Structure 1
Amino acid sequence: MFDWKVNLGIIMVWVNAAPSSAFKFTLPKILTEFGYTSSKAQLTSIPPYVAGGISSWLVGRTADRFAWRFPFIVGLMCLLLAGLAILYSLSKNLAVHVSVMYFAIILAQIGIYPLLPGVSAWTGNNLAPFWKRSIGLAWMLAAGNFGSLIRTNIFLPKEAPKYTTGYATSISIVILAMTATILQEILLWQENISRAKVSENDIRSQYTQVELDAQGDGSQLYRYTLRNGIRVFTHGEITLEHSFPGSIKDYVAG
């Protein structure tokens, strides 16, 4: 629960929860400006979510292909940030920029939908043993969803249609999450480099295999999942539990 990787993951998950109210308040107004009502308005609200679904599938496949989550997570956050920035900057004159704002919502959905599975896969791959992964992911998702409490209190009716507080808070959360993502990547690389400097013989002279297995991802023999998607292990239960036998496509990438 107090692992720094889980805590950084919580900040990343906030991006999936907090800014989404921007679309709830903006999309209906855009459809109204289009002059659509009833069934036609419902149909026009579908493309942003279809784009988000396609993005989730495509990003998941591509991240598995390259076995590297970090650039995709940061890239998606950039798309979300761009979408929110466009919505905020043009919200005061929505009637004039309705098409651009509709595009911004699609862009933001493309960015926000794949984030939760990507962050979950990245964080889960770097937690061990299995019980720590289970508890860590559960806590990350639960605490991350507290972002929903934020979103319900930042888009103030009195600030319509600009919603300065709502957009400013949402954009700030995205920037904070991007910082957390970059920080986690750097720290994981640094930890792997630090552990690589210690020989296996030195480590095994200090700990038994049972003790190393109990240490999980805290073991000096453990390597965090980064670009190659496969950790480097030695012998014992850690190897059996966390190595990737078979095709890498059968497993989530780091």
Structure 2
Amino acid sequence: MATATEKDVARDSLHTSCEPTSTTDEAGSVESAGFDAKSTRRLVRKIDFFLIPFLSLLYLMSFLDRSNVGNARLAGLPGDLGLKGLDFNCAVAIFFPFYVFAEIPSNLMMKRFRPSIWIPSIMVAWGVMCCLMGVVHNYAGLLAIRAALGLAEGGLFPGITFYITQWYQRHECGFRMAIFFSAATAAGAFGGLLARAIMELKGARGLNAWSWIFIIEGAITVAIALSAYFLMHDYPKTARFLTDAERREVGRRLETDQSFLDDKFNLKYFKDAAKDWKIWVHMLITIGIFSPLYSFSLFLPTIISALGHKDKTAQLMTVPPYIAACFFCIAAGWMADKHGQRGIYLISCNLLAIIGFTIQLATTHAKHKYLGTFFAAAGIYPNVPQIVAWNGNNIGGSTKRSVGIAMQVGFGNLGGVLSGFTYLERDAPLYHIGHSICIGLLSTSTLLCLFMRWWCKKENKRRDAVDHANGRVGGWSTSDMQAESGNGDYAGFFRYTV
């Protein structure tokens, strides 16, 4: 009769093609005693309850505070600060180089120290910066605060993404990342509604409506950050909401899933990540997704207002496309985890987004263009958590994974610099150049996804053939896996998610 651990491995292998099979020792079976399929699902749901809603709230505030400059533009920001020509575009773009610069150091700090200290601290910093953006008096001040905001915010998305991989098995991460990232769609919807309400404060205490957008949203971030010092947990082994038996079971599940890969902090794995061509391909895929996403989120209010709607109406009309994006984001994440695949969903969603931007190009009717924003949002937003999950699934070892994810997200966020100049005022109201740029980036990303899916399937088959030739049809022993623990995803027992 199979042991409990062997049953877990067999069950997990049905969910993801990257899951290696292995033999397990008697200690592993004893540790997992009492956790059958039902109790394991209950344990995972418990972790979900304590982690995901709060992480989603943190990211909602992050995305809200970086993209509210688009709402502020409709509330009078350019006129009050005397912005001309490309001044607003530069103010949007300057955020991203500093955001990218912070990502890898921040993830290393997350790995080296405690998430419950690091994440709330950077939140306080960017909340304060957001508030200060509400009291700037000139273009130079806006540039300086936007740069500081990027430096403070840079660590959150790659940090939380890595953090999730420290709690869940690989085939469970995509759905959780999708729920977590769906907060970005909620930020888009909530941001439009909140901005519309805050615009009623125009003139209060001598401040214009755009000032109040920054001050109120920044103050909310600071309040949530202060609570995060007490509400955020570090890692499973120190989580107060888990029992001793549950902590051991989470550790066993992660060890089984990661196949005894080295989990220690070692700068050797920083070099391994920097030299891994697969991570660089994922970086190119990511910039082809992130740049259209930032272009869309930052300029959607402007695009809708160009269809003939007044500022307050345009703020409200940004909400429905984000609701559609939220639904597709969660649905795609759930289906990808269920089927243990990423590439096919990335390709499908990219094609959906391309249809949306093509509609923008092909018609001049306002209602058809507005329909196109639904397709674009429903295609772009699901692919952000999917591409990060795919890259994270295929990086072996937690230190290399933390660096690889930061490299990927950092490079992808350089697309934010491009997004600041994608939709230029001189191209209004049709924005043909901006829509064409987004289509080109998404098409390139799709082709690279096809290549990576083909390569991963080919490499998995090659490793299966090697195992068969070496008599490892039944899987690897624990001692053999431990002998290759430092090889990460190049270890012979590792299998890639396709």
For the criterion TM > 0.5, the same-fold answer is yes
2:447 to 159, 164, 179: 179
C-alpha distance in 2 between matches for 1:145 and 1:163: 22
* 3-state SS, counterpart of residue 217 of structure 1: helix
Pairs within 5 Å for 1:119-198? 119-198=387-466
* 3-state SS, counterpart of residue 492 of structure 2: coil
C-alpha distance in 1 between matches for 2:438 and 2:318: 22
Partner of 2:129: none
The alpha carbon displacement at 1:141 in A equals: 0.5
* 3-state SS, counterpart of residue 5 of structure 1: helix
Partner of 2:317: 44
Partner of 1:114: 382
- For the pair shown, the structure with the greater C-alpha radius of gyration is 2
The alpha carbon displacement at 1:115 in A equals: 0.8
Q: Is the 8 A contact 1:52 1:106 kept in 2?
A: yes
1:91-145 deviations in Å (ceiling 9; x for gaps)? xx3xxx1111111001110111111111111111111022111111111101110
Equivalent pairs, count: 218
1:167-198 deviations in Å (ceiling 9; x for gaps)? 22221110110011111000001111112221
C-alpha distance in 2 between matches for 1:99 and 1:225: 40
What is the TM-score of this pair, normalised by structure 2? Answer: 0.41
What is the TM-score of this pair, normalised by structure 1? Answer: 0.76
1:83 to 356, 372, 383: 356
Corresponding letter in the other structure for 1:61: W
Q: Is the 8 A contact 1:60 1:118 kept in 2?
A: yes
Q: Is the 8 A contact 1:23 1:105 kept in 2?
A: no
- Structure 1 residue 61 corresponds to structure 2 residue 331: no
C-alpha distance in 2 between matches for 1:143 and 1:32: 31
The alpha carbon displacement at 1:50 in A equals: 1.2
The alpha carbon displacement at 1:26 in A equals: 5.5
Q: Is the 8 A contact 1:9 1:119 kept in 2?
A: yes
Corresponding letter in the other structure for 2:484: L
Corresponding letter in the other structure for 1:79: L
Partner of 1:11: 284
C-alpha distance in 2 between matches for 1:184 and 1:77: 15
The alpha carbon displacement at 1:89 in A equals: 2.4
Corresponding letter in the other structure for 1:16: I
Corresponding letter in the other structure for 1:225: T
Corresponding letter in the other structure for 2:359: I
Structure 1 unaligned regions, length at least 5: 227-254
Q: Is the 8 A contact 1:22 1:166 kept in 2?
A: no
Q: 1:37 to 1:214 in 2, by over 3 A?
A: closer
C-alpha distance in 1 between matches for 2:307 and 2:427: 19
C-alpha distance in 2 between matches for 1:25 and 1:41: 11
Percent identity over the alignment is 27
Aligned residues: CA RMSD: 2.5
Q: Is the 8 A contact 2:481 2:493 kept in 1?
A: no
The alpha carbon displacement at 1:211 in A equals: 4.5
The alpha carbon displacement at 1:154 in A equals: 3.0
Q: 1:141 to 1:25 in 2, by over 3 A?
A: closer
The alpha carbon displacement at 1:68 in A equals: 1.6
When structure 1 is superposed on structure 2, of 5-14 and 69-78 the one drifting more is: 5-14
C-alpha distance in 1 between matches for 2:450 and 2:323: 29
The alpha carbon displacement at 1:67 in A equals: 2.0
